Amino acid sequence: METNTQTEKKRSFTDNMRLWFKGVTEPTAKFLNGLGITPNAMTILGLLGNMVGAWFLSQGRIVEGGLFILVCTPFDALDGTMARLRGEVTEFGAFVDSVSDRYSELFILGGLLYYYSISNDETTTILVYVAAAGSILVSYVKARAESLHLNANTGILTRMERYLVVTPLLLLNQPIIAIWILAILTNVTALQRIFKVRQEATKK
At 54, which CATH number? 1.20.120.1760
Burial of 170 per CB tally in 10 Å (0-12, 13-18, 19+): buried
- Predicted confidence band at 167 (pLDDT cuts at 50, 70, 90)? very high
Residue 50 forms part of a structural domain: yes
**Confidence bin at 13 (pLDDT 50/70/90):** low
| Alpha-carbon torsion (20, 30, 92, 71), positive or negative | negative
CA distance 85 to 195: 37
Catalytic residue positions, numbered: 101
pLDDT at 120 over 90: yes
Does residue 5 lie within any of the structural domains? no
Structural domain containing residue 190: 13-203
Say whether pLDDT at 20 is over 60.
no
* Mean pLDDT (whole number) for 127-156: 93
Q: In the prediction, which pLDDT does 37 show? A: 81
Q: ∠ at Cα 133 (128, 136), nearest 5°?
A: 125
Does residue 21 belong to any structural domain of this protein? yes
- State the pLDDT confidence band at 173, using cuts at 50, 70 and 90: very high
- The angle at the Cα of 51, spanning 42 to 28, to the nearest 5 degrees, equals 25
